[in-house]
């Protein structure tokens, strides 16, 4: 029986039968230093305006690309994520103080806390949506032609905002709705048939504080008047 050494493996092999003898031991050449490739990028301090990160995204997973450079994502001191909304033009959308005559939003998302409607025209601004808080009633018996009945006297320093009213009179003819001395509407009604009018959106606000809402008889004769008006004061 003759043996030869299998190159690279510490074992004996019968050259006639090919049978292996001995323990298989892989012979590894000694290295002066064992090299380890972690396949990770080199550690680096995170900072704004960092260059594109190499993969895998270690640290960069909490960063966002602004179109030019990568920036860290910011959060609150208690761990909340802090987000700035941007409009279509790239302008930041910020909170706005509550109040009438608010300006147009710079982005597509309005951040005002309550319901607003755009007035258009003049003053061409956003206005808070109002609700009905006042209901006023008045009666006038045998109101002479050319005379008026006070419907709504607002609190001192306030303006009435009229959302609608219902008026009935005993005789057919024309009536005038007045903001103090200014005519804001004409009505022509048949006798004992109520006329109901609703004001859309935010209604009509009196021009000057302390103005009184009135209905004036212009039938040409005396008439009885029954009126209900609703709206708010501000």
> Would you state the pLDDT for residue 161?
96
Residue 4 has pLDDT above 50, yes or no: no
- The domain tally of the chain equals 2
Whether 206 is in a domain gets the answer yes
162, 141: one domain: yes
Work out the mean pLDDT of the chain and round it to a whole number. 78
Q: Among 129, 160, 189, give the residue marking a domain's end.
A: 129
- For the chain, give the DSSP string: --EEEPTTB--EEETTT--EES---B-----SS-------PPP----TTBPPPPSS-TTGGGEEE-SSSEEEPPB-TTSPBP--EE-TTSPEE------SSBPPPSSSS---SS-EEE--TTT-SEEEPP---EEEEEEEEEEPTT-EEEEE-PPTT--EEEEEEEEEESS-EEEEEEETTEEEEEEEE-TT--EEEE--TT-EE-SSTT--EEEEE-SSS-EEEEEEEEEEE-
197, 174: one domain: yes
The model's pTM is 0.58
Residue 15 has pLDDT above 80, yes or no: no
Average pLDDT over residues 189-217: 92
19 vs 83, more confident: 83
Residue 150 has pLDDT above 80, yes or no: yes
156, 226: one domain: yes
Residue 152 belongs to domain with CATH number: 2.60.120.260
Q: Among 111, 129, 147, give the residue marking a domain's end.
A: 129
Q: Among 106, 129, 152, give the residue marking a domain's end.
A: 129
Whether 148 is in a domain gets the answer yes
> Would you state the pLDDT for residue 69?
82
Q: What range defines the domain where residue 68 resides?
A: 61-129
């Amino acid at each position: 029986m003759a043996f030869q050494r299998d190159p690279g493996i510490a074992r004996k092999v019968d050259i006639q039968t090919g049978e292996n003898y001995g323990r298989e031991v892989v012979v590894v050449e000694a290295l002066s230093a064992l090299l380890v490739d972690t396949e990770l990028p080199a550690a680096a301090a995170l900072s704004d305006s960092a260059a594109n990160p190499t993969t895998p995204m270690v640290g960069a997973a909490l960063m966002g690309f602004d179109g030019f450079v990568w920036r860290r994502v910011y959060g609150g001191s208690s761990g909340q994520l802090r987000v700035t909304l941007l409009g279509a033009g790239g302008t930041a959308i910020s909170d706005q103080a509550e109040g009438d005559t608010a300006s147009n939003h710079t982005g597509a998302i309005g951040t005002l806390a309550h319901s607003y409607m755009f007035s258009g025209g003049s003053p061409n601004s956003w206005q808070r949506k109002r609700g009905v808080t006042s209901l006023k009633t008045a009666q006038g018996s045998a109101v002479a032609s050319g005379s008026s009945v006070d419907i709504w006297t607002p609190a001192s320093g306030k303006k009435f905002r009229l959302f609608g009213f219902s008026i009935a009179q005993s005789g057919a003819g024309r009536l005038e709705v007045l903001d103090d001395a200014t005519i804001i509407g004409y009505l022509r009604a048949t006798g004992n048939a109520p006329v109901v009018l609703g004001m859309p959106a935010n209604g009509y606000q009196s021009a000057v504080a302390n103005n009184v809402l009135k209905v004036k008889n212009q039938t040409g004769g005396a008439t009885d008047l029954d009126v209900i008006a609703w709206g708010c004061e501000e």
